[in-house]
Structures are given as structure tokens and as C-alpha cells.
Amino acid sequence: MWKDFLKTHVPESVLIPPANFVKSIQLRRARRLINASSATFEYLAFEEIERLDHQFRDTSFAASQKNYSDEQEMRVASERLKKIYRRVPGIDQMKNVLELGCGTGACSRLLSQNYRIHTTGVDQVLPQPETMNKTKFLDFIVMDAQDLKFDDQSFDLIFSFDAFEHIANPEKALKEAHRVLRPGGYLYLYFGPLFPSSLGLHLYNRIKIPYCQFLFRPEDLNKYLSIKNRGSLDKSFCNGWSILDFRNLFDKMRLSFDTHFYQETPDLFNKGPLWKWPSCFRKVDDPESLFVSFIEVLLQKPDKSPELIKSSVRQVR
Ligand SMILES: C[S@@+](CC[C@H](N)C(=O)[O-])C[C@H]1O[C@@H](n2cnc3c(N)ncnc32)[C@H](O)[C@@H]1O
């Protein structure tokens, strides 16, 4: 499909500016439609789930490839590490790396193999922590990213993929990451889809209806999933944070971290339900959150304390 072709063959740096332009046009249309829609917030009827489920059944999302074989998993991990290598300087000099929300641990495994850097993967749920192939350079620990059991300044690099839209309190996790990073250490995050974006409910192959989190009552979605034997919605699965929440958080953390790179990926596709049923989106704080799906950010813990940085800024002024 051309969307996949663009993603694979054209660098993001080339795609993002025109995508942001299209986003601004779509966002204006969304604001107009939502404002003009019935003032009462509405959900669609339960029966619509089945109809739309059939309509979107054959949609293929890049994000729907979720049950990877080992080989696919290592391929994905290798693509992810390329992102880190591209952004983070001096990886080959590092001694201790931490991955937050490591899941099956493919990224940590590959990084420790490629560079022989001691890498620790933590996750609140590890499927089989005892059989996760630990080595001299690799460790997996069941641990909450919001309450890390490591000493201060233990790591040169902390990274995380697709976990910060799940972690219940991303602010706590960022503060913990800051605490356990050494001064000068890097924090690299890539995560999404954010909850209010089109695939934000993370149901992927189970219900492919874009924005179903706004179209239907959660209890109706649960009932439908249960009738179809497709599991259930797990309330703790996604933290519900929007792009505005994350922007506020990164703004707030500005004194603690230097920002080297920050990029939002516009969510331009799957907009049919938004154009058709704008009143379902009236409870969204700001329609912009419907149009951003991923965040990539590289932060660095300054070598000096925030007080010193503030005072040196004052001196320069
Ligand atoms: C979508 S999975 C991503 C896993 C892996 N990083 C990947 O990209 O394949 C999100 C992961 O975040 C983990 N997670 C959620 N909240 C967490 C927390 N508070 N502390 C540690 N891990 C957490 C989940 O258990 C899950 O493994």
C-alpha cells in the first residue's frame, strides 16, 4: 500500500512537514464540524459496532502486526535500535543501559549483543522472567517504571518503546528516569498510538474501527468483544493521556532535562468516523489530540544541577 511504501522509503524528516500541513487543514475541518454538531455528546448504538466492524474488517494497519514471530520481533527491534543509534551520541562508550516497559525484551537483547553494554529490561509484567535468556550483559527484572529500585545515577542511557502511553503516571516514570540517570545521561522515548488518536484504544486486530473509544460506550465494546470471544477492554491498558498532556509534562520537565529532539507524528488517516459523527467527539478536550499518534523525544540530564543551570543563564543575561 502507498502509505506503507512512503513510510519505508521516505525519511520521516521529509514526510513530517507536509503531513503537519495536511494535519492543520484536517484539524480546522474537525473543529468546524464538532462545533457545528449537536450540542449533546452522543455514543452510537450497540448495533453499529457489528456493522462498522464488518466495514473496517479488511483495513490493514501497520500497527496491527502485533503477534510477531521471534524473527519478526528481532527485525522490529533492529529497526528500533537504528532510531536510537541515529539520535543518541556515544552509545559505544556507555556501560549501563535501562529499558522501561521492555515487554518480551527484544531491544534489550539486541543492544546487549551488538554493543556488549550491560542492559537491563524492566517491565511490570514479564511473561517468563526466569527463562528470558539473561547473560553477563543482560538482565530482566519485574519492576514498576514509576518506582525504580535502582540507585541514583546508575544509567548512561534509558530508553523505552511504546510504553509511555500505557504507564499510569508518566510524570512519575520521567522523574524516576531522571533520578537513576547519571548527569549527562540520555533518555530516549518513542511511544504511541496515544489514546485519543485513531487507533488509541490499541484493539488492532480485535476491533478495527478507528476512534471506537469515542464512538461507543466502553460497556458496549466490552459486550461486543465478549460475544465475539475477543477478550475484553482492560481499563489499565492505556493511560488516556493526550498529546496536550504530554506536551505539558515535557514542558514541566524542561528544568530537569535538556531537549535534544522532539517530534510528534501526525495521525492523518482513518478519519471517516470523525467526519461522519462529529458529535461523538464533543467530549474531547481539544480536537488536536485526535491528530497526533506518536511522540519521539530525546532528553539529556544536564551535567549541572538545575540551580546551576538557572544561575548560569542569569549570568549570561
Ligand atoms: C505495548 S507494550 C510494549 C512492549 C515493548 N516495549 C514493545 O514495544 O514491544 C507496553 C509495555 O509497557 C509495560 N508497562 C505498562 N506500565 C508499566 C509500568 N508502570 N512499569 C513498567 N512497565 C509497564 C506493559 O507491561 C507492556 O509490556
Q: What separation in Å is there between the alpha carbon of 239 and the centre of ligand 1?
A: 12
Q: How far is CA 145 from CA 28, 65, 239, 251, 283, in A?
A: 37, 26, 14, 20, 30
**In this structure, what is the dihedral angle of CA atoms 51, 225, 295, 153, given to the nearest 10 degrees?**
180
pLDDT tens profile 206-222: 999 999 999 999 999 99
CA 94/CA 155 separation, integer angstroms: 9
Instruction: Output the pLDDT for position 127.
Output: 75
Q: What separation in Å is there between the alpha carbon of 186 and the centre of ligand 1?
A: 20
- For all residues of the chain together, what is the average pLDDT? 90
Residue 13 has pLDDT above 50, yes or no: yes
- Specify the ligand 1 atom closest to the Cα of 167: 16
The residue-averaged pLDDT of 15-21 equals 94
The residue that leads in pLDDT, 237 or 294, is 294
Q: Which of 167, 169, 188 to mutate to test the pocket of ligand 1 (most atoms within 8 A of CB)?
A: 167
Which three cell numbers mark 223? 459486550
Instruction: Output the pLDDT for position 152.
Output: 98
Instruction: Output the pLDDT for position 236.
Output: 67
Q: What separation in Å is there between the alpha carbon of 102 and the centre of ligand 1?
A: 6
- Specify the ligand 1 atom closest to the Cα of 144: 20
Instruction: Output the pLDDT for position 241.
Output: 97
- Specify the ligand 1 atom closest to the Cα of 173: 19
- Specify the ligand 1 atom closest to the Cα of 160: 6
Residue 296 has pLDDT above 50, yes or no: yes
Q: Which residues line ligand 1 (CB under 6 A)?
A: 101-103, 123-125, 144-146, 161-163, 166-167
Which residue minimizes the CA distance to atom 13 of ligand 1?
A: 101
- Specify the ligand 1 atom closest to the Cα of 99: 6
Residue 9: band (very low, low, confident or very high) from pLDDT cuts 50, 70, 90: confident
Q: What separation in Å is there between the alpha carbon of 103 and the centre of ligand 1?
A: 6
Residue 11: band (very low, low, confident or very high) from pLDDT cuts 50, 70, 90: confident
Which sign does the torsion angle of CA 225, 274, 55, 191 carry?
A: negative
pLDDT tens profile 135-179: 899 999 999 999 999 999 999 999 999 999 999 999 999 999 999
Q: Lowest mean pLDDT: which of 20-24, 124-128, 260-264?
A: 124-128
Which residue minimizes the CA distance to atom 27 of ligand 1?
A: 103
CA 281/CA 275 separation, integer angstroms: 10
Q: How far is CA 269 from CA 44, 112, 221, in A?
A: 21, 37, 22
Q: Which of 125, 144, 188, 236 to mutate to test the pocket of ligand 1 (most atoms within 8 A of CB)?
A: 125
- Specify the ligand 1 atom closest to the Cα of 145: 20
Q: What separation in Å is there between the alpha carbon of 315 and the centre of ligand 1?
A: 43
Per the structure, how many domains does the chain have? 1
Residue 41 has pLDDT above 60, yes or no: yes
Residue 291: band (very low, low, confident or very high) from pLDDT cuts 50, 70, 90: very high
Instruction: Output the pLDDT for position 289.
Output: 98
Residue 312 has pLDDT above 60, yes or no: no
Q: What separation in Å is there between the alpha carbon of 173 and the centre of ligand 1?
A: 12
Residue 317: band (very low, low, confident or very high) from pLDDT cuts 50, 70, 90: very low
Q: How far is CA 39 from CA 42, 44, 123, 290, in A?
A: 9, 15, 43, 19
CATH number for the domain harbouring residue 243: 3.40.50.150
User: At 44, phi and psi to the nearest 5?
Assistant: -80, 160
CA 188/CA 165 separation, integer angstroms: 14
CA angle 195, 120, 252 (to 5 degrees): 45
Which sign does the torsion angle of CA 235, 236, 242, 244 carry?
A: positive
Instruction: Output the pLDDT for position 311.
Output: 41
- SS3 for 259-290, per residue? EEEEEEEECCCCCHHHHHCHHHHCCCCCHHHH
Q: Lowest mean pLDDT: which of 110-119, 231-240, 302-311?
A: 302-311
Instruction: Output the pLDDT for position 4.
Output: 65
Which residue minimizes the CA distance to atom 24 of ligand 1?
A: 101
Q: What separation in Å is there between the alpha carbon of 148 and the centre of ligand 1?
A: 14
Residue 198 has pLDDT above 90, yes or no: yes
Q: What separation in Å is there between the alpha carbon of 26 and the centre of ligand 1?
A: 32
Residue 12 has pLDDT above 50, yes or no: yes
Q: Are 98 and 122 in contact (CB under 8 A)?
A: yes
Instruction: Output the pLDDT for position 67.
Output: 64
Residue % of the chain over a pLDDT of 70? 90
pLDDT tens profile 54-80: 999 887 765 444 567 888 999 999 999
**Structural domain for 147, as ranges:** 2-316
Instruction: Output the pLDDT for position 308.
Output: 46
Q: What separation in Å is there between the alpha carbon of 155 and the centre of ligand 1?
A: 19
CA 7/CA 53 separation, integer angstroms: 26
Instruction: Output the pLDDT for position 5.
Output: 67
